[in-house]
Amino acid sequence: MRYYLAFFPVLALAACGAPENPPADPPPSSPQSGMAAMENTVSVAGQQTAIDVRAAWMRPHPAGRDVTAAYIVVALTEGAEDLLQAVQIEGADRVELHGHFMTEDGVMQMREIGPQRVGDDGPLVFTPGGRHLMVFGLPAVTEGATVSGTLIFQNAGVVPVSFDVRSMPPGLPADY
Ligand SMILES: [Cu+2]
């Protein structure tokens, strides 16, 4: 835990800084095939599911940027597993699912992580310092606004979501 806390400020910076400071690893020359190899390892059984969105919020844009981070907590209320395949946000060019990783020299970086599984063993959490949604090309949003979007699940299909724009995380759900 001490480890986690020590790196928290770095994570916060990394979340905002990375679009202008891409990871040291160059993108694969063929992004499609490279991504496919990394991401298509997650598969979940087809079944009926229902999704509960327990928290959804987005940071105001840092000054002069058109990139910001958004966070969600989703849980299954029906079914055993599902896969969050993509996120769309109204007005944004695109949204990527990102995670943080430690490089060999101890620097936190982030990169796209692809579809994420949610099971009946606990919520799928996107939170500062961990998984996050990277929102590109959205016109600047201000504190107190709400932004609509959709979460796209393999089994549950399209789930509407409303992000509260706020600088600080909301209170955490009881079963976070
Ligand atoms: Cu990111």
pLDDT tens for residues 52-93?
999 999 999 998 899 999 999 999 999 999 999 999 999 999
Taking Cα atoms as reference points, which of 99, 129, 103 lies closest to residue 116? 99
3-state secondary structure of 96: strand
pLDDT band at 173 (very low <50, low <70, confident <90, very high): low
Work out the percent of the chain whose per-residue pLDDT is above 70: 74
Distance 119 CA to ligand 1 centre (A): 23
> CA–CA separation, 85 vs 168, rounded Å?
26
Lowest mean pLDDT among 100-104, 109-113, 169-173: 169-173
DSSP state of 114: -
Cβ–Cβ < 8 Å for 58, 163: yes
Per the structure block, which two tokens stand in for 94? Answer: 């695109």
pLDDT band at 129 (very low <50, low <70, confident <90, very high): confident
Greater confidence, 4 or 113? 113
Distance 115 CA to ligand 1 centre (A): 15
Q: What is the pLDDT of residue 110?
A: 92
142 pLDDT more than 60: yes
pLDDT band at 172 (very low <50, low <70, confident <90, very high): low
> CA–CA separation, 163 vs 69, rounded Å?
11
Distance 149 CA to ligand 1 centre (A): 18
Helix and strand element counts for the chain (H, E): 2, 10
pLDDT tens for residues 23-44?
444 444 444 443 443 445 689 9
Per the structure block, which two tokens stand in for 1? Answer: 């835990």
Q: What is the pLDDT of residue 9?
A: 40
Per the structure block, which two tokens stand in for 173? Answer: 């759900």
Distance 111 CA to ligand 1 centre (A): 6
Q: What is the pLDDT of residue 169?
A: 86
CATH architecture, domain defined by 2-23+44-165: Sandwich (2.60)
pLDDT band at 136 (very low <50, low <70, confident <90, very high): very high
> CA–CA separation, 164 vs 170, rounded Å?
9
Distance 77 CA to ligand 1 centre (A): 28
Average pLDDT, integer, range 121-142: 95
Distance 95 CA to ligand 1 centre (A): 10
- Bridge partner list, 100: 110
pLDDT band at 168 (very low <50, low <70, confident <90, very high): confident
